[in-house]
Structure formats: structure tokens, C-alpha cells
């Protein structure tokens, strides 16, 4: 994976007369966010500078505060700072509150505002790939921060059911208890189990299976062969939130007749929502598919 220059300290002269945006993360040298936002800026004739900033692990709050004090206009937040951003923001969108994490920050009336555009980005990518979520039977594998970040927008698509399976069943049950009130309101069935329980002969096949676990980063699948036999079916769709490689999870799905996708489209779509919020431009003006194609060919 290519690495790009990033900042570990902020110099005031960089901000003078500029519309400065940035992505904050650690490590951050691999981030594609500047490439994506630069394309959106070209598409909408906006003048922006978009930086990569890598605060020390214990220095995120100080650096984000300094960034806005110097005139920074908006920030994307990535691993491992989404929780810190959530705690720093004085105003939170409903979906950020439910996600318990913030990936998009800006200032309004002197207050730090936070949103979480990850889940909406996922939904936009799925819909643009022709995946039907409404009335679908959805399985989410994994119950960490990534899973929590996508549940609210997925529920709003009103699938028939969302089943959350995790290696540690307890964490799946905790997510269900957080989202049960919204699921009830939207008339969506929510279930929790361990991933091992998916090996049970009564496990249904799902039309959409989303891997939110980090198993792929260790070149593993969170699903055993038997669980994969049960949950994937011909004509189904399998989506892995990570991007840039075909994971073991994606291979399992492909072998069982599913269409597959990595999370590159989600990355671009979540950035589009942030960009339109920051620059107050109509999101319909952003050609996200062109940016996805460009990144795939890069
Ligand atoms: P993130 O913010 O990326 O979601 P996280 O909160 O640490 O990170 O959650 C990681 C998720 O991946 C968890 O659901 C974890 O399962 P556990 O809760 O049982 O730890 C899951 N995970 C990580 N490695 C895994 C593996 N090798 N097999 C199955 N699940 C795995």
C-alpha cells in the first residue's frame, strides 16, 4: 500500500487564506481521503486543501482543537480516534450518538459538531450496486465499533431482519440492546448470536451478508466453512467493509455463488456526505462512482 506525506505538527502559516480540511488518524500515511476530496473539489469547483494529520496516540484532542483554532474548516476522523472525537464534540447527530463514534467534524457557532457518515456511506454504496436492503434478510458478522457505526442507517432501510453474529456473542447482544428501540419503531427484527451458532443446521441463508469484523486484516474469515455453507446462497450479496483486497470472507461468498464487494465504495460515499456537509454543496453534484473507478485504476 502506498504511503503519502503527513503532518505531525501544525504550522499557522499553512492556514492563511486557505480552506483547510484534513483527515486525522494514526497511522495515516495510507489514507485515500485527500485523493477523494480533491476529486470532489474539482467536480464542484471548490478551492480546498486537504491534509493528512497524524497526532500522537495521546494527542488527538489537543491537535484537533489547534486545527480548528488555526482556521481548519472540517476534519475526517479515522482509526483510532473516532471515539475521542465523539467525546470531544458538543453537538452530535442522532446517528453519531447511536454509533458511539464520530468520523466527520466541523465547527458551527463556536461549537464542535460531529456526525458519523460511515453507515450512510455503506447504504449508498450498496444501493448504487443494485443491492435491495428493504425487506431483505441481513446478516452482520462482527459486533465492534464498525458494526455499531452502520446499524442506524441500515435499520432505516427497513430490512425484514438484521441478525448480528459475533465471535463473542455477548457483544452482539449488547448491540441489539442499544438498537432495539429503533428496530421496534421501524418494525425490523433484530437478533444476536455467536458466529459459531451460524453452524447450526437451522441457520437461514441471507440475501445480504456484511463483514464488519477485523478478521480479514489477519487474513482470516470470521465464518467457519460450515457457517459459510449456511449463510451464503446463490444470488446473495456479500460485502466486506475493508477495502483493497479480496478477503477470505469474500472468497467464501464467491465460491457459494454470491456477488461480492469490498468497502472502497463505502469509503468514497462516506466522504461525499462529509464533503457536501462541509461545503454545503448538493451531494447529487458529486460523481462518487467516477471516484471509485479512478481509485480502482490507480
Ligand atoms: P472495529 O472498530 O474495527 O469494529 P473492534 O471494535 O475491535 O474493531 O471489533 C473488532 C470485531 O472483529 C469484533 O467483532 C471482533 O470479535 P470479538 O468481539 O469476539 O473480539 C471481530 N474479530 C476480530 N478478529 C476476529 C477473528 N479472527 N475472527 C472473528 N472475529 C474477529
- State pLDDT tens for residues 74-96: 999 999 999 999 999 999 999 99
Is residue 202 included in any domain, yes or no?
Answer: yes
Which residues are CB-contacts of 289 (< 8 A; sequence separation ≥ 6)? 128
Q: Is the peptide bond before 18 cis (omega within 30 degrees of 0)?
A: no
Would you call 160 a catalytic residue per the annotation? no
CATH code, domain with 172: 3.40.50.720
Is residue 1 included in any domain, yes or no?
Answer: no
**pLDDT exceeds 80 at position 118:** yes
275 and 243 part of one domain: no
pLDDT at 1 (0 to 100): 57
162 and 101 part of one domain: no
Ligand 1 atom with minimal separation from the 171 CA: 18
- State pLDDT tens for residues 162-179: 999 999 999 999 999 999
Is residue 278 included in any domain, yes or no?
Answer: yes
Q: Are strands 104-108 and 111-115 parallel, antiparallel or unpaired?
A: antiparallel
Domain that holds residue 91: 6-116+267-297
Give 174 Cα–ligand 1 centroid separation in angstroms: 14
206 and 288 part of one domain: no
The closest residue, in CA terms, to atom 12 on ligand 1 is 213
Q: Are 273 and 293 in contact (CB under 8 A)?
A: no
Give 63 Cα–ligand 1 centroid separation in angstroms: 28
134 and 230 part of one domain: yes
Ligand 1 atom with minimal separation from the 212 CA: 4
217 and 129 part of one domain: yes
230 and 164 part of one domain: yes
55 and 151 part of one domain: no
The closest residue, in CA terms, to atom 25 on ligand 1 is 215
194 and 291 part of one domain: no
Q: Is the CB of 218 under 6 A from ligand 1?
A: yes
Give 107 Cα–ligand 1 centroid separation in angstroms: 32
Q: Is the CB of 215 under 6 A from ligand 1?
A: yes
The closest residue, in CA terms, to atom 6 on ligand 1 is 144
Q: Per-residue pLDDT averaged across 21-25, rounded?
A: 98
The closest residue, in CA terms, to atom 24 on ligand 1 is 215
pLDDT at 57 (0 to 100): 98
Is residue 144 included in any domain, yes or no?
Answer: yes
CATH code, domain with 289: 3.40.50.10860
pLDDT band at 180 (very low <50, low <70, confident <90, very high): very high
Q: Please pick, among 82, 158, 171, 284, the residue that the annotation labels catalytic.
A: 82
**pLDDT exceeds 70 at position 11:** yes
207 and 125 part of one domain: yes
110 and 232 part of one domain: no
Place of cell 452482520: 140
Is residue 152 included in any domain, yes or no?
Answer: yes
Query: How many domains are there within the chain?
Result: 2
CA 163 – CA 180 distance, rounded (Å) = 12
Is residue 82 included in any domain, yes or no?
Answer: yes
Q: Is the CB of 171 under 6 A from ligand 1?
A: yes
253 and 128 part of one domain: yes
124 and 222 part of one domain: yes
Amino acid at each position: 500500500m502506498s504511503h503519502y506525506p503527513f503532518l505531525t505538527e501544525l504550522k499557522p502559516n499553512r492556514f492563511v487564506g486557505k480552506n483547510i480540511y484534513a483527515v486525522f488518524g494514526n497511522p495515516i500515511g495510507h489514507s485515500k481521503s485527500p485523493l477523494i476530496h480533491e476529486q470532489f473539489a474539482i467536480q464542484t469547483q471548490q478551492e480546498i486543501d486537504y491534509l493528512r494529520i497524524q497526532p500522537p496516540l495521546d494527542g488527538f484532542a489537543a491537535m484537533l482543537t489547534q486545527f480548528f483554532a488555526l482556521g481548519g474548516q472540517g476534519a475526517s476522523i479515522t482509526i483510532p480516534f473516532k471515539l475521542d472525537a465523539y467525546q470531544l464534540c458538543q453537538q452530535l447527530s442522532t446517528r453519531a450518538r447511536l454509533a458511539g463514534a464520530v468520523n466527520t467534524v466541523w465547527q458551527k457557532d463556536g461549537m464542535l459538531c460531529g456526525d458519523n457518515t460511515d453507515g450512510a456511506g455503506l447504504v449508498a454504496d450498496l444501493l448504487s450496486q443494485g443491492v435491495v436492503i428493504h425487506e431483505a434478510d441481513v446478516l452482520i458478522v462482527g459486533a465492534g465499533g464498525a458494526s455499531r457505526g452502520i446499524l442506524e442507517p441500515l435499520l432505516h432501510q427497513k430490512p425484514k431482519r438484521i441478525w448480528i453474529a459475533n465471535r463473542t456473542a455477548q457483544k452482539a447482544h449488547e448491540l441489539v440492546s442499544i438498537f432495539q428501540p429503533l428496530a421496534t419503531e421501524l418494525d425490523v427484527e433484530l437478533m444476536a448470536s455467536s458466529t459459531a451458532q451460524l453452524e447450526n443446521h437451522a441457520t437461514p441463508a441471507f440475501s445480504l451478508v456484511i463483514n464488519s469484523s477485523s478478521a480479514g486484516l489477519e487474513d482470516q474469515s470470521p465464518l467457519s466453512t460450515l457457517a459459510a455453507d449456511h449463510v451464503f446462497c446463490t444470488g446473495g450479496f456479500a460485502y466486506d467493509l475493508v477495502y483493497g483486497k479480496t478477503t477470505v470472507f469474500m472468497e467464501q461468498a464467491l465460491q457459494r455463488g454470491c456477488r461480492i464487494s469490498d468497502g472502497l465504495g463505502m469509503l468514497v460515499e462516506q466522504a461525499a456526505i462529509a464533503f457536501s456537509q462541509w461545503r454545503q454543496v448538493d451531494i447529487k453534484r458529486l460523481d462518487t462512482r467516477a471516484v471509485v473507478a479512478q481509485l480502482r485504476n490507480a
